Amino acid sequence: MTMNSEAVAAALKGKNKVVLVHGNADLDALGSAFAVARCFPPAVIFAPAGLDRVAKMVAEKLCIPVLETCDLSTYELAVAVDTSSPDQFQNPAAVLPAGSVVIDHHTPTGRWEGMQVFCDETRVSCCEIIKDAADAAGIAIDRTAALALLGGMLTDSGHFQYADPALLREFADLLEKNRIGMDEAMQLVRAPMNMSERVAAMKAIGRSKFDRVGDMIVAVSSGSSFESASCRALLASGADVVFVGSQRENEFRVSGRATQEMVRRGIRLDALMGELSQETATDGGGHGGAAGMTGTGDTEAMLHMCMEKTMDAFRKIKAETEAQQAAGAAAPTVPLQ
């Protein structure tokens, strides 16, 4: 859908508000929340289940205050950013009151009943939506907020691997208006893998299982942490689609990644994991090339189902490709004049 930026701005203006981000929040979530707080004050940022490593690092660099506990009832308005369903807060204390504002860019899950929902799944990052809302309201984005937005755009586009022209235009506009060098934006999000991540990635490769259809490979693995780093390692090892899961008592979490080439060929992890979440009464969704699932259940069983659904998708792609090739071979040739 096309986002009405003026409507987003109107929903954010005024009122003492709290801005919530999903559990283990990434930089797109933090950057969006911080820009809302700076452009549409007064507001505080609440991370019900913490920030991921890169978001924590940027919060420290930019001195972004983030609450670890919060009483939502003390605020006039609650706003959720970059969060596709209530379950992603991963905290029973984070329950949005009716009429709260939800701003997101993931495939809609239909889980925000009774809320003011603004979702544009065509955008690569949620930060773009917040920037557009500020622009529509005629609000100048200060340099610190601009850096946070740039960081969110960078990380959610895989450092431009998955960027589209719209994101690149928004990114360039922030650089130009705030006189920010590209090196400064890149340095903001640069975080070398620490030893724990490296070990987790190596273990994930060692525990991995894979299968293939034609030239397409899907791999799955399990671990205890750093699912994103493990996904990157499996993709770098040669897989086209990967799923990495972790188990914490009765709760599981699965992260999925696909190469951009596989997305172009028809793989949609948001649809795959969204469908699986409906079948298993869990919570799942995301983007074509990056998605996740959480809920109560067994990680190994979920990984097996992810692999089977991906294999089915591979077979469909292979059949369609062979049909197209057969049709092309059967087409009559036109002699040169």
pLDDT for 288: 87
What is the tens place of the pLDDT at every residue in 83-108? 999 989 989 889 999 999 999 999 88
Q: Would residue 174 be called left, alpha or beta, if left means φ above 0 and alpha means ψ between -120 and 50 degrees?
A: alpha
Checking if the pLDDT of 21 tops 50, the result is yes
The domain of 266 spans 199-324
Nearest to 155 by CA among 119, 126, 118: 126
Same domain, 95 and 203: no
Q: What percent of the chain has pLDDT over 70?
A: 97
Provide the mean pLDDT of the chain.
93
Q: Are residues 161 and 206 in the same domain?
A: no
Does residue 335 fall inside a structural domain?
A: no
pLDDT in the model for residue 331: 65
State the pLDDT at residue 1: 40
What is the pTM assigned to this prediction? 0.79
Q: Residue 194 falls within a domain, yes or no?
A: no
CATH number at 134 reads 3.90.1640.10
| Same domain, residue pair 249 and 104 | no
CATH of the domain at 229: 3.10.310.40
Same domain, 131 and 222: no
Sign of CA dihedral 166, 172, 132, 19: positive
Q: How far is CA 317 from the centre of its chain?
A: 25
pLDDT at 193: 79
Asked if residue 148 and residue 219 are part of one domain, the reply reads no
- Residues 221, 182, single domain; the answer is no
**Are residues 177 and 61 located together in one domain of the fold?**
yes
Nearest 10 degrees: CA dihedral of 167, 171, 173, 174? Answer: 140
Sheet of strand 209-213: strand arrangement: 209-213, 216-223, 241-248, 251-258, 290-296, 283-286
183 and 212 part of one domain: no
Q: Is the pLDDT of residue 280 over 80?
A: yes
164 shares its domain with 51:
yes
Last residue of a domain, one of 155, 189, 223: 189
Half-sphere exposure of 311 (CA within 13 A, CB side): 12
Residue 164 has pLDDT above 90, yes or no: yes
Tell whether 104 and 251 lie within a shared domain.
no
pLDDT digits (tens, 9 = 90+) for 197-241: 889 889 999 999 999 999 999 999 998 678 888 998 999 999 999
Of 133, 157, 189, which one is at a domain's C-terminal end?
189
Which amino acid, residue 146?
Answer: A
Where does the chain have alpha helices with state H? Answer: 5-12, 27-39, 53-61, 126-136, 143-156, 165-178, 182-189, 195-207, 227-236, 260-265, 269-280, 299-330
- Tell me what pLDDT residue 184 has: 97
Number of domains in the chain: 2
User: What's the rounded mean pLDDT across residues 150-172?
Assistant: 95
State the Cα–Cα distance between residues 269 and 288, nearest whole angstrom.
Answer: 5
Domain-ending residue, one of 189, 214, 235: 189
pLDDT band at residue 335 under the 50/70/90 scheme: low
Same domain, 26 and 108: yes
Is 333 domain-assigned? no
Lowest mean pLDDT among 123-127, 143-147, 329-333: 329-333
176 with 213, same domain? no
297 lies in some domain: yes
